[in-house]
Amino acid sequence: MAAAGGGSSKRTWVVDMEKKLKEADKSSEVSRWERHCIYRVPPCMTNIKSKAYQPQVVSLGPFHHGDSDLRPMEEHKCQALRQLLQRTERTFDELVDGLEDIAEQLEGMYMDLDGEWRRDGRERLLAMMIFDGCFLLEVMRCTADDGKQVGDYAHNDPIFSPHGILRPKLGLNMVAYIRRDMVMLENQLPLLLLQKLVEVENGNPPNDDFINRMVLKFLAQSSGPVPPGIGLGLHPLDVFRRSMLTGKCHQILSPQGIEEDNAIIRSALKLYEAGIRFKPSKTLSLHDIQFRSGTLSVPTVSVDDSTEYMFLNVMPFERLHVGVGNDVTDYVFFMNNIIDSAKNVALLSSKGIIQKAIGSDQAVANLFNTISRDVMLEPNSALVAVQRQVNGYFWKPWDVRRANLIHTYLRSPWAFLSLAAAIFLLGMTVMQTIYTVMQFYRDDNSSPPPSAPSPT
């Protein structure tokens, strides 16, 4: 019998714990963590706007499955699956067979998956993902056909008919809500699932670029393309993020002599008053931010109702997924620095850098100032070098004086004409003064000398 105080005989649970610790292997831990790519957003990140992480109309994946507000869409998922099977002449059993070999991979992609999804094996998880995946495929196909009916849906179907695709709701249609739910980190479906479903449908596996393009076309028609040959995206949010970061970061040498404390860039208005010009970058890539010869190039960004949701979900993904990078978070930090008031938004809008569709300039300023809370710039970010380039130019006395001259007198034809007229009048005045002085001395030298007095 084991001693109460822990004698020579160890308690059973202690022996079990020591065995578990010995069996723990670092390589297996690395392998387990590498599989995760869909995460629950921790409370410390959701305090900015909790609504931005909660899907509004449809659950995709296990984290929000069964939420009371999202249950009405489950009927439409059944309808989508039924139509897909009829159209492709497949059975539900064939879909299950096609996905069984990747079931473990799909499960491993979700971090902190509730035990209820594992309790009955993977059958429940697999069934749920088939319903969600087929629903997503049908929605994307209906939209890709510009509202044309896909399959044999009822003419008044609230989701899949042309009427459903285009039906307005509070200024948005239902597809707009689904699109916004698709970029929420907790509401992701693996693209591996979509690829496998299309393979079962057609009998041939689609290539990675096909799946990437299909998802991106649905999510953002105005975004940059996903470069071919990069491999299958992890999920829709990952593909969307990649489309924002096309092209390579510019290699920039930081100017010497700029103190660390001065690495924070000034607001757009202060930079403009110092003569720094702004223009849209040649591409929409967030990598395409450059400073050359007194001009700061920044990619055009469209700010609408979904912008805040998108950034608030991309940034946690960058924080939680090791190795993905911090590029979008760095961009948000950069924009927050140059936008500290509505006047800065008005300036950047006039230069074509911000295209706003959410109302006032102040609303846009509030958006960037809010979502950047608790955000830091990576020390090795290319934007650190850009900020130091700008500040190096900003603090050169001659550049500032020359810039102020240009900003004050050469920014419009009328200002230039006024300056030219003032210089002309000053020149004429100086010339007239010189002529008058010279004429005075000439007249003085040409006058006859005084005659000598006559003798008396």
pLDDT (tens digit, 0 to 9) for every residue of the chain, 456 residues total? 444 445 556 688 888 887 777 766 655 555 566 789 999 999 989 888 889 999 999 999 999 999 999 999 999 999 999 999 999 999 999 999 999 999 999 999 999 888 778 766 678 999 999 999 999 999 998 887 655 556 677 777 778 876 666 544 433 478 889 999 999 999 999 999 999 999 999 988 899 999 999 999 999 755 567 777 788 999 999 999 999 998 776 655 555 544 544 567 889 999 998 889 999 999 999 999 999 989 999 999 999 888 999 999 999 999 999 989 999 999 999 999 999 999 999 999 999 999 988 779 999 999 999 999 888 888 888 899 999 999 888 876 555 555 555 555 555 566 656 766 777 777 778 777 877 777 766 666 666 665 655 655
Q: What single letter denotes the amino acid at residue 401?
A: R
Q: Where are the domains of the chain?
A: 43-243, 260-407
| pTM to 2 decimal places | 0.81
